[in-house]
Amino acid sequence: MHHMLFYRCIVPRTMSASSVFEPFVNHTGEECYFPGEMEEGTLPTQYCTDMHYGFAIGGKTSFLPEHLGIPIGQDEEEYYLFQTHMDNPALQTGIMASIRMNIHYTPTLRQHDAGFLNIGYNIPGSPSFIIPPRSQDHRFSGHCSSQCTQKILPPEGIKVAAAILHSHNAGRRLKLQHFRNNRELPWILSDDNFIFRYQLLRFLRKEVVIQPGDHVTMRK
């Protein structure tokens, strides 16, 4: 197993969440990357993009600090998608897997709401990267530009309490960089010896503030 991902599913205001998701509550699952067009019997995953939690291979059980909590139960009709990414390179048959995610919740609100900000490199319509043959040091960069943070962040900015660096087997070095007013600030997280099977959610010693107008880059 590579990952477990937990998404909140949100439909446009003109649609009813129960009418869209209720028929799939007991669905047995399907391919994550190639589900095809929106057809009868196909999970409506296009509405499930608000990541609430992620677990990667080599990770450990994570508990948020006491002042942070991921909000759930905000709407009367609220649905979530639980997604797992599996790998079977040897094409073995007869493998049975039982996977479970335990989520602890409390009716007592924490001081601050926590969420996920994903920054990376992506080819629209494809889950893959294209790396030239025999490349020794091919690099990718994913950006959340100053225009992006100006648009999506609140006026007071956000505080980064933890981060996870993610790549697949071809990844060797990863760094999450932070820029403000065309000046590079101390990087948020860096790993010059990335190992695919050891991907931890790492809590920062000191929370980092990302302000509207800052530029954040993920290099791998």
Q: What is the pLDDT of residues 161-209, one digit of tens each?
A: 999 998 888 888 999 999 999 999 999 999 999 998 888 899 999 999 9
pLDDT at 123: 64
**How many CB atoms are located within 10 Å of the residue 143 CB?**
16
Tokens of 35: 């589900």
Residue reference for tokens 């490349």: 135
pLDDT tens column, 99-140: 887 888 888 889 999 999 988 877 666 666 778 888 888 888
Of the candidates 75, 150, 69, which has an alpha carbon nearest to the alpha carbon of residue 109? 69
In this prediction, residues 77-104 reach a mean pLDDT of 86
Torsion (CA) 207, 5, 8, 217 in degrees, nearest 10? 40
Tokens of 163: 């981060």
Residue 182 contacts residue 119 (beta carbons within 8 Å): no
Q: How far apart are CA 115 and CA 172, in angstroms?
A: 27
Residue 160 contacts residue 188 (beta carbons within 8 Å): yes
